[in-house]
Amino acid sequence: MMSQKKCESTIQKGGEMKKGEKIYEGKAKIVYKTDDPDLFIQYFKDDATAFDATKRGTIIGKGVVNNKVSAKLFELLESKGIPTHFVKLLSDREMLMKRLKIMPIEVTVRNITAGGMSKMLAIEEGIVLKEPVLEYHYKRDDLHDPLFNEYHIKALGLATDEELDRVDTLSFEINEILKAFFSERNLDLVDFKLEFGKHKERILLGDEISPDTCRLWEKGTRKKLDKDRFRRDLGGIEEAYQEVYKRVMG
C-alpha cells in the first residue's frame, strides 16, 4: 500500500498529479515532469501556428477540445489493443501520460488527397485513394519536416527494421479504428499525423489526435472541421473545433 507520505508527495488536493519542472514547450503544448519519473503531464494551449510558425494565432477553447478529444481517442485505441502513452485526464487542459522517448519521425496516413500530397503531386484535393498512403516525415522544424523513406530512417539509425514494421502496422490499424469511429459521426478522416515513442523499450503511440493533427471533413458537404480553417483563413474556426468535440464526445 502507498504510504501516506508518498501519497502526499505525488498527489495534490483534488487528486491531481503535481506539475514539476517544465521540460518542453512546443507550439500547442507544454510538457511537465511529475514526481514519478515514468510519468509526464501534457498541457494543451489555445495557441495555433501554421506554415512553420510563420502564421500564429489563438483558437479559443482549442486546448480543451484537443485534450479531451485526444483522451477519448486514446481510450478508444487502447480498448482495441493499440498501446498509447495516455494514462488519464487530469483537468480540462491536462493529461497524464507515460514518459516517452519520441522517435524523430512523423507518420502521416492519408485516405483522401489533400494538403502536402496534393501539392507535391499536383493532384486535386478530395480524391478517395484506392488504399491508404503512409508517409514518414523527418521531425525537423528547421528543415520543414521533409518527406523521407524507410531507407533514410534505417541508414540514419533512427529506427530498426523491426521498429518500423511495428510503427507501420500500428498506424494502419489506428487508421481503420479512427476511420470507422469518425464515419459513425458523419465525418471523413482525410489524413492525420502520428508520433510514436519508446517507454521502457516498448513502442507506444504518443502526442495527440485532434483537429490540429487530423483533417476531418463532414460527409457529403465536405465542410472542413479542422486546422485547415485556420491555415486557410476560412473562418468559423472555434465553431469547427466545438463541432468535432460534440461529435466525438456525444
Q: Which residues bind ligand UDP (CB under 6 A)?
A: 108, 114-117, 145, 191-193, 213-215, 227
Nearer to ligand UDP, 90 or 197 (CB): 197
Distance from first CA to last CA of the chain, Å, rounded?
38
Let me know: does 111 contact 132? Beta carbons within 8 Å.
yes
Let me know: does 69 contact 175? Beta carbons within 8 Å.
no
Nearer to ligand UDP, 135 or 150 (CB): 135
Residue 238 has φ and ψ, to the nearest 5°, of -55, -45
CB of 115 to ligand UDP, least distance (A): 2
Nearer to ligand UDP, 94 or 191 (CB): 191
Nearer to ligand UDP, 148 or 192 (CB): 192
CB of 166 to ligand UDP, least distance (A): 20
CB of 21 to ligand UDP, least distance (A): 26
Contacts of 163 (CB under 8 A, 6+ apart): 103, 203
Pick the closest to residue 204 from 110, 106, 99 (CA basis): 99
Nearer to ligand UDP, 190 or 203 (CB): 190
Nearer to ligand UDP, 7 or 234 (CB): 234
CB of 79 to ligand UDP, least distance (A): 23
CB of 226 to ligand UDP, least distance (A): 7
Measured from each CB, the residue nearest to ligand UDP is: 115
In Å, how far from its chain's centre is CA 218? 20
CB of 221 to ligand UDP, least distance (A): 19
The C-alpha atoms of residue 104 and residue 142 are separated, in whole angstroms, by: 13
Let me know: does 203 contact 21? Beta carbons within 8 Å.
no
Print the SS3 string covering 144-179: CCCEECHHHHHHCCCCCHHHHHHHHHHHHHHHHHHH
